[in-house]
Amino acid sequence: MKHHLMLNQIGLEVVLDEKKMEMMIFKEAFLKKNDEKLNQQVHSNTLNNKKLKYFELEGR
Average model confidence (pLDDT) across the chain: 82
> What is the reported pLDDT for 2?
63
Looking at the chain, list the stretches that DSSP marks H as alpha helix, in order from N- to C-terminal side: 2-59
> Cα–Cα distance between 30 and 37 in angstroms, integer?
11
* pLDDT tens figures, 8-49: 777 778 778 888 888 888 899 999 998 999 889 888 999 888
Residue 1 has pLDDT above 80, yes or no: no
At position 50, the amino acid (one-letter code) is: K
What is this structure's pTM? 0.47
Q: Map out the domains of the chain as residue ranges.
A: 24-60
